[in-house]
Structure 1
Amino acid sequence: MPVRDAGAVEALGALPDPLVAAFALVTLLGDVAAYFLVFSVLYWLGDRTPFVGDRLDRELIVQIVALGFVALALVTLLKHVFTLPRPPGADTPIAVTGVPDALRPLVSDASVDDGYGFPSGHAIGSTVVYGGLGWLVSGTGDRRPLYVGATLAALVSLSRVVVGVHYLGDVLAGVALGVALLFLATRYLSTPGRSFPAAGALAAVGLVAVGPTEYLLFGLGASLGATAAWVSLRDRIPITARSGREALVTAVSGILVVGGLLAVVATLDLAALGTVLAIGVVLAALVAVPVAGARLDAALG
């Protein structure tokens, strides 16, 4: 039994099938695609986000996104430094009973992974993104957002062991790295203008050391595009929306523009440099959407 495990994979994998399936669905919240969707919408809606909008502004959301890209580049680089394997069977979907047929494909897809296992990308990512968001929006005397963010990060992290794609040690290391990154960020990467270039630099180091992996190319392109848009438009991006209608117009515009760009990129067979440039354009558009949304709302009267 590997030191990284201590029997956790076998023990948690023996939970009742419906609970294992539920954790398989929870693990989807730690995918890069889920972060992209959730935080794009949060950024576009800003302070008009239902339930939590009074605690949000767009600069805060952009900062969390930037730290997420730092985490993505860091974990990709570290996986290739340690080159430690995943648990046996990580590339085989789990077999569960009592699950609705409509959910079976999601459960199957969520319960497999490949590549190196240490540290857990889902653990560091969810700690930085969900835990970091909860931490930054927690006001004095009200720690509930922090508890919610930490709980969500813990569930996503634990789900990786339950579905058998990570050892317990992989997850604990990922959480520790995520917490350390958040503390370092408060001192050295306290603004998007610092965090995005740091993410891009780390991705560039990874590309030199590791080679052109999907996540490093995505991280470099996203960081370059977001940096350019944020630096050039910072004074024109409305940090808060003037009205609920403006926020809605901005979100709909973002879905159409960014969704359309992603659809186009998905149809192209791009080399490494083309991928970086294309993702850069997508992220620059994502960051710039609130400027267009505010103007469109004003034009609508």
Structure 2
Amino acid sequence: MVQPGRGIGISDTLGDLFGEIGVIVLAALTQLGDVWFLFLFAGGLYLASTRPGNPLSRRRGAFVLALPIVYVVTVQALKGVFMLPRPQDAGIAAAIPWLPSLFVPVYENAATAEGYGFPSGHALGTTLVWGGVALVTE
């Protein structure tokens, strides 16, 4: 079955607007919602909450630490239900000729994605984890 196109050209427009530097910045910014970062951040917050004198209780730290797990399970289940593909070029990173070869794999990993595209893992993950942090901090 062929899925109708869902893209409206936002990625292309942003790439044209900001140029190569902007593409790299946006790829790096995207990592704030990536699963590795959310687990690292939530784990660090939990470890900080276990230290004496920290205003964030251990229970609240554990709550935030549980949120990335909820996010991963929820997104994987929903992606299996909806099975909507990613946009056509989601697996292709824009070529940046001046980027040192050492950073090309890092950039390509940050700027591309595979698998189903809906629901957005970054959107759900950032909402859960950063929203949870806002909830437990005063």
Per the TM superposition, whether the score is higher than 0.5 is: yes
Q: Distance in 2 between matches of 1:30 and 1:65?
A: 15
Task: Provide structure 2 residue ranges, at least 5 long, that are not aligned to the other structure.
Answer: none
Q: CA deviation at 1:35?
A: 2.1
Deviation at 1:102, TM superposition (A): 4.5
2:8 corresponds, among 1, 6, 9, to 6
- Give percent identity, aligned residues only: 37
Alpha carbons of 1:135 and 1:101: their partners in 2 closer, same or farther (altered >3 Å)?
Answer: farther
Q: Deviations over 1:66-112 (max 9, x none)?
A: 23222211111111111111111222222125545553332111112
Q: Which letter does structure 1 place at the counterpart of 2:43?
A: S
Aligned counterparts, 1:8-87, within 5 A:
8-14=10-16, 15-46=18-49, 53-54=54-55, 56-87=56-87
Contact 1:18–1:99 (Cα < 8 Å) also in 2: no
In 2, the alpha carbon distance for the partners of 1:36 and 1:71 equals 10
Give, in whole Å, the separation in 2 of the partners of 1:83 and 1:13: 27
Q: Select the structure of larger CA radius of gyration.
A: 1
Across the aligned residues of Structure 1 and Structure 2, the Cα RMSD in angstroms comes to: 2.4
Please say which of residues 113-122 and 30-39 is displaced more in the overlay.
Answer: 30-39
Amino acid at match of 2:72: L
Bigger Cα displacement from structure 2, 126-135 vs 111-120: 126-135
Structure 1: any 5+ residue segments left out of the alignment? Answer: 140-301
Greater RCO (Cα-Cα under 8 Å, separation 6 or more) = 2
- The count of residues paired between Structure 1 and Structure 2 equals 133
TM-score (norm 1): 0.40
**TM-score normalised over the length of structure 2:** 0.80
| Deviation digits for residues 20-76 of structure 1 (CA, Å, limit 9, x no counterpart) | 10111122232222222222222112275xxxx53x222112112223222211111
Distance 1:66 1:101 in 2: 37
State the secondary structure of the residue aligned to 1:91. coil
Cross-structure match for 1:108: 108
Q: Which amino acid aligns with 1:46?
A: S
